[in-house]
Structure 1
Amino acid sequence: MKYLTPNKSNSQPKPESSPQKEPKKGGSDYLELLARWIVALISLPVIFISHIIAQFVTPGTPGYKLVGAIGFWIGTLLSTDSIWQVLFQGKPIFPWFETEWIGWLGWLQLPFNLLFWISFGISALVQVMEARTLRGKDPNQAKHEFEESKQYTLGSKPNGNIDLTVALWGDYKRAGMKERHTGGAIALFFWVLDITTTFVGRNPFRYTNPAAILGCFAYNCASMMAGEIGYNIWKLTK
């Protein structure tokens, strides 16, 4: 009978590995560390400012929402000036391209004037309706409405039936078109109102200097579009 003998090579304890010594840092390593700290201290203000700017240009951030809200309210206030002049015969709120304006004392009295707040409300409504026109439908919403409309199959026009049947068939065929046409007419009304009040309140063609005409025309366009752009930016954050 053979007996198995233990393997001596396995039974012997393994020598413990000696701990590795960490290399000592030389003078160049300390200089590199010092240079990194100096660069970090110098770039700290730039990094801080870049993070602040990112809050105002990145969609979804509080700063981005603030920019949209400020743009909407400033644009609404600029449009309010024209409505305030044309509909309520008030003095111009802003002095640009005007011979006279309400002045700083008049600004202090505006919050207590009911007609001013009515003008501001009309202006806000105009800006929102125009912004909806510029933005249009969301692609997902348009796709959903299109897919939903395809489930209704229109039969052929009835022949030999009473007029009521033909009339109801026409209503079925034109279902939803009345609301669509009405929405377009409402949007057109607000655009005409905004353009009329803007250019009647501040007519660029009353000047003779071409630079003044061009400047007043550009200001009118900017005052009309500022509210819509701000509302669209603010709407994208919701």
Structure 2
Amino acid sequence: MSNPTPTTERSQPSPQNKPQRGLNEYLELLARWIVTLISLPVIFVSHIVAQFVTPGTSGYKLVGAIGFWIGTLLSTDSIWQVLFQGKPLWPWFETEWIGWFGWVQLPFNLLFWISFGISALIQVMEARTLRGKDPNQAKNEFEESKQYTLSSKPTGNIDLTMALWGDYKRAGMKERHTGGAIALFFWTLDITTTFVGRNPFRYTNPGTILACLAYNFASMMAGEIGYSIWKLTK
């Protein structure tokens, strides 16, 4: 019979051979915890800010929606004054305004909501001209239009053939020109009501003139920019 092979006992390190943590390691660990605790508020705030500046996030949509409604309300002031002869909604650059009591009554005034609706329509139509077409959409429309090859201009045919050839050549241009005319109408209406309702050149102080000009342009553009930001998240 063969003798059983003796089992080899694993050598266990003695407590004296175990690595001991030094004071420097404990201090480094403590420093990391302190830095982490101090940086937590900063990290938290940075994540909140990122929600408002990163496209596609809920905060980004909220910024666009707030910008659109505030801009629309600022633009409503001009529509309200010029088209419906209402008192100014805001006190700045005005000799009189509707007052806080007037603001309480505004939600029950149908003309105010009509002014607000007109203003919102203006902001949306102007924002469409600011945004333009999506590059992919423009590319697809261009590629689709190339499949229609126009034959040479007919000669010796009746006038009806020439007219139909012209319609084929100008297909889609009527809608394009109409869209441009509509956009021009809304921009003209917005500029007219803004500067008629709040004319910066009635002042004599150059600083006041510049401030009123800046406010007019800001009130015109705030709604369009807000709508564009909100639309990009759709």
The Cα of 1:36 is off from its aligned counterpart by 1.4
Q: Tell me the TM-score normalized by structure 2.
A: 0.93
2:11 corresponds in structure 1 to: 18
CA–CA distance in 1 between the matches of 2:33 and 2:23? 16
Single out whichever of 68-77 and 35-44 deviates more from structure 2. 35-44
Which residue of the partner structure matches residue 156 of structure 2?
160
Residue type at the aligned position of 1:18:
S
**Residue of structure 2 equivalent to 1:69:** 65
Where do 5+ consecutive residues of structure 1 fail to align?
Answer: 1-10
Q: Show CA shifts across 1:163-188 (max 9, x none).
A: 11111111111110100000000000
Higher Cα radius of gyration: 1
Deviation of 1:14 after TM superposition, in Å, equals 7.7
Q: How many angstroms apart in 1 are the aligned matches of 2:137 and 2:87?
A: 44
Determine whether 1:237 maps to 2:233.
yes
User: Residue type matched to 2:65 in 1?
Assistant: A
TM-score by length of 1: 0.92
Aligned residue in 1 for 2:101? 105
Q: Which residue of 1 aligns with 2:209?
A: 213
Q: Using the alignment, how far apart are the partners of 2:5 and 2:69 within structure 1?
A: 85
The separation in 1 between residues aligned to 2:128 and 2:5, in whole angstroms, is: 85
- Is 1:124 matched up with 2:126? no
- Pairwise CA distance, 1:202: 0.1
Can you list the C-alpha shifts for 1:188-221, whole angstroms capped at 9, x where unaligned?
0000000000000000000011111111011000
More divergent stretch after superposition (25-34 vs 56-65): 25-34
Q: Which amino acid aligns with 1:234?
A: W
Partner of 2:177: 181
Amino acid aligned to 1:35 = A
Corresponding residue to 2:138 among 134, 138, 142: 142
Distance 1:108 1:14, change over 3 A: same
The runs of at least 4 consecutive aligned structure 1 residues that moved more than 2 Å come to: 11-22
Amino acid at match of 1:129: M
Structure 1 residue 48, shift from structure 2 partner: 1.2
Q: Give the 3-state SS of the residue equivalent to 1:97 in structure 2.
A: coil
Q: Which residue of 2 aligns with 1:202?
A: 198
Determine the structure 1 residue equivalent to 2:81.
85
Query: Identity of aligned pairs, percent?
Result: 85
CA 1:26–1:100 in 2, change beyond 3 Å: closer, same or farther?
same
Question: Counterpart of 1:5?
Answer: none
| 1:192 corresponds to | 188
CA distance in 1, matches of 2:105, 2:83: 19
- RMSD over equivalenced CA pairs, Å: 1.6
Unaligned regions of 5+ residues in structure 2, if any? none
CA distance in 2, matches of 1:115, 1:230: 24
In structure 2, the partner of 1:7 is none
Question: In 1, Cα distance between the equivalents of 2:18 and 2:97?
Answer: 78
Q: 1:26, CA displacement in angstroms?
A: 2.3
